[in-house]
């Protein structure tokens, strides 16, 4: 099909559960075939594949255990192929990918090589794009597979690479825009390449981010994120069964939700989308007819409290130093150490001689590396006394004018007056109020707040 320059171009991203098996791939194809505006499709690895690749990337020394994980990945691909009966060249390509996965995981069992880890992690997405392209071709759709590494240029921070949007824009024009005139192009989320052509990954959950970068580069009419829930809910429905879908939400609110733990979107997704003013739709692959959620600049309603989110497994670092007393430059030194370790801070409180802060694991490292490493601790301990508290959860109340609306904070804290609140952050953004609690209390607190603020 020939597209016209004013044809509304839509980028559609399908997450891991949406491409998990043959039936799921057929549901993606239904959505794509029924909407000719979808010209670029971005896919994640089939559910469970990246977790297994991450285990292999971390290095499994025992060869039998390694074989077991590889067999599990192979089984997921074989089950799809058994029903799909792909063209011989597609089956051969998947076989090559599996051989490469086995070789890289054997290499990584011997030594940690960050570039090889990303190379290995990328195969989950590579298999998905190949298989979905084949499903579309069998349905008579003019589809072709495209290597995202040709255009998603990043820096060389393997496992958590930063994209270079300007360069991506140029590369997309050069290598992809022309193809979109004649094909529905299927490509991989999560992966890119540095200037030397080495494969990189954008951090766990990064396919949404990739899709938004593509949508920005193409100046798309809309970005669709197809997943296993019918939109963004007022809270994670797995944690609060009474949560309800939100039909419309602003970029600012959705970004807060993603940053503070709503797994439905990668936290960086909305940056390129908002930069390029591309509205984002979140919908369910199994129920595409449902209204889903639209994320836009403005919404008709602007409730004080729109949603709740939670980020578990939080680490609280408390640093103390008498040198802080009336001194300048201590915080600068502290932040310089954290920046060198590529760690950003989200909650922070200070007193005369101490600073307490939580670390932001946003878009965590693809191979699951921990934020607080022995090297980080050694550098901090050279500067001050450090204590680390784990087992905490960060809860965020998200909405509008939270810091300027009377009685909001008192209502929130009176709802949960029985629980210990370890730290509070309010006022930095009008769109959130955050606090840190014990992880064991988190579900209870979410459900109580949801009843108090969102079920009236």
Number of chain positions touching ligand ADP (CB under 6 A): 19
Which partner in ligand PHD, ligand ADP, none is near 228 (CB below 5 to 8 A by kind)? ligand ADP
How many CA atoms lie within 13 Å of 213's alpha carbon, on the beta-carbon side?
Answer: 33
Q: Is 11 helix (H, G, I), strand (E, B) or coil?
A: strand
What is the smallest separation between the CB atom of 273 and ligand ADP, expressed in angstroms?
16
Instruction: Based on the shown chain and the rule CB under 6 A, indicate whether residue 238 belongs to the binding site for ligand ADP.
Output: yes
Strands (E), 254-413: 280-284, 293-296, 307-320, 344-350, 354-360, 385-398
Q: Is 23 helix (H, G, I), strand (E, B) or coil?
A: helix
Instruction: Based on the shown chain and the rule CB under 6 A, indicate whether residue 232 belongs to the binding site for ligand PHD.
Output: no
What is the smallest separation between the CB atom of 414 and ligand PHD, expressed in angstroms?
37
User: Where do the H-state alpha helices sit in 176-315?
Assistant: 177-182, 207-217, 251-259, 270-275
What is the smallest separation between the CB atom of 301 and ligand PHD, expressed in angstroms?
29
Which partner in ligand PHD, ligand ADP, none is near 262 (CB below 5 to 8 A by kind)? ligand ADP
Site string for ligand ADP, 255-294 (x = CB under 6 A): --x----xxx------------------------------
Q: Which stretch binds ligand PHD (CB under 6 A): 73-81, 153-161, 205-213, 385-393?
A: 205-213
Number of chain positions touching ligand PHD (CB under 6 A): 13
Distance CA 1, CA 4 (A): 10
Chain residue at closest Cβ approach to ligand ADP:
15
Site string for ligand ADP, 39-68 (x = CB under 6 A): -----x------------------------
Instruction: Based on the shown chain and the rule CB under 6 A, indicate whether residue 16 belongs to the binding site for ligand PHD.
Output: yes
Instruction: Based on the shown chain and the rule CB under 6 A, indicate whether residue 50 belongs to the binding site for ligand PHD.
Output: yes
- The DSSP element (H or E) to which 437 belongs, if any, is strand 432-438
Distance CA 28, CA 290 (A): 15
Residue closer to ligand PHD by CB (options 281, 330) is 281
Q: Which stretch binds ligand PHD (CB under 6 A): 69-77, 198-206, 305-313, 435-443?
A: 198-206
Tokens of 295: 């994320």
Asked whether residue 233 is marked as a ligand-binding residue, the answer is yes
Asked whether residue 330 is marked as a ligand-binding residue, the answer is no
What is the smallest separation between the CB atom of 87 and ligand ADP, expressed in angstroms?
27
Which partner in ligand ADP, ligand PHD, none is near 238 (CB below 5 to 8 A by kind)? ligand ADP
Q: Which stretch binds ligand PHD (CB under 6 A): 93-101, 200-208, 382-390, 407-415?
A: 200-208
Cβ contacts of residue 250 below 8 Å, gap of 6+? 295, 296, 297, 298, 299, 302
Closest residue by Cα to residue 41 from 310, 302, 225, 303: 225
Contact 366, 159 (CB under 8 A): yes
Asked whether residue 15 is marked as a ligand-binding residue, the answer is yes
Secondary structure letter of residue 139 according to DSSP = T
Which partner in ligand PHD, ligand ADP, none is near 206 (CB below 5 to 8 A by kind)? ligand PHD
Closest residue by Cα to residue 93 from 119, 130, 56: 130
CA distances from 271 to 161, 208, 279 (A): 15, 11, 12
Phi, psi (degrees; rounded to nearest 5) at 258: -65, -45
CA distances from 173 to 123, 177, 193, 198, 216 (A): 25, 5, 17, 21, 12
The binding site for ligand PHD (CB under 6 A) comprises: 15-16, 44-45, 50, 124, 189-190, 204-208
Provide the binding-site residues for ligand ADP, judged by CB under 6 A: 15-18, 44, 205, 227-229, 232-233, 235-238, 257, 262-264
């Amino acid at each position: 099909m020939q597209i016209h320059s004013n044809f509304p171009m839509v980028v559609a991203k399908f997450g891991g559960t949406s491409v998990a098996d043959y039936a799921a791939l057929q549901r993606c194809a239904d959505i794509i075939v029924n909407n000719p505006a979808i010209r670029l499709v971005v896919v994640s690895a089939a559910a469970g594949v990246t977790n297994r690749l991450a285990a292999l990337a971390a290095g499994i020394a025992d060869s039998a255990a390694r074989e077991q994980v590889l067999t599990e990945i192979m089984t997921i691909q074989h089950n799809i192929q058994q029903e799909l009966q792909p063209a011989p060249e597609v089956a051969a390509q998947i076989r090559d990918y599996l051989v490469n996965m086995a070789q890289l995981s054997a290499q990584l069992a011997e030594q940690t090589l960050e570039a090889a880890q990303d190379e290995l992690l990328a195969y989950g997405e590579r298999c998905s794009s190949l298989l979905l392209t084949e499903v579309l071709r069998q349905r008579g759709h003019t589809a072709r597979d495209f290597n995202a590494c040709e255009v998603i240029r990043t820096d060389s921070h393997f496992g958590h690479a930063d994209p270079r949007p300007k360069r991506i824009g140029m590369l997309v024009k050069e290598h992809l825009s022309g193809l979109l005139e004649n094909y529905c192009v299927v490509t991989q989320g999560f992966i890119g390449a540095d200037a030397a052509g080495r494969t990189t990954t954008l951090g766990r959950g990064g396919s949404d981010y990739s899709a938004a970068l593509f949508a920005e580069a193409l100046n798309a009419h809309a970005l669709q994120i197809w997943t296993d829930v019918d939109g963004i809910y007022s809270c994670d429905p797995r944690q609060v069964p009474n949560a309800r879908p939100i039909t419309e939400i602003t970029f600012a609110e959705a970004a807060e939700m993603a940053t503070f733990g709503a797994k439905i979107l990668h936290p960086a997704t909305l940056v390129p989308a908002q930069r390029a003013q591309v509205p984002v739709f979140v919908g369910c692959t199994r129920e595409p007819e449902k209204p889903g959620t639209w994320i836009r600049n403005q919404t008709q309603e602007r409730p004080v409290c729109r949603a709740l989110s939670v980020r578990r497994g939080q680490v609280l670092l408390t640093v103390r130093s008498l040198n802080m007393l009336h001194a300048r430059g201590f915080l600068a030194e502290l932040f310089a150490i954290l920046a060198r370790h590529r760690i950003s801070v989200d909650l922070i409180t200070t007193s005369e001689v101490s600073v307490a802060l939580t670390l932001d694991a946003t878009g965590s490292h693809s191979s699951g590396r921990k934020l607080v490493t022995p090297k980080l601790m050694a550098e901090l301990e050279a500067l001050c006394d450090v204590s680390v508290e784990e087992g905490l959860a960060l809860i965020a109340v998200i909405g509008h004018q939270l810091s300027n609306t009377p009685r909001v904070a008192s209502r929130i804290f009176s709802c949960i007056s029985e629980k210990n609140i370890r730290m509070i952050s309010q006022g930095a953004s009008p769109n959130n109020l955050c606090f840190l609690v014990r992880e064991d209390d988190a579900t209870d607190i979410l459900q109580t707040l949801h009843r108090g603020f969102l079920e009236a």
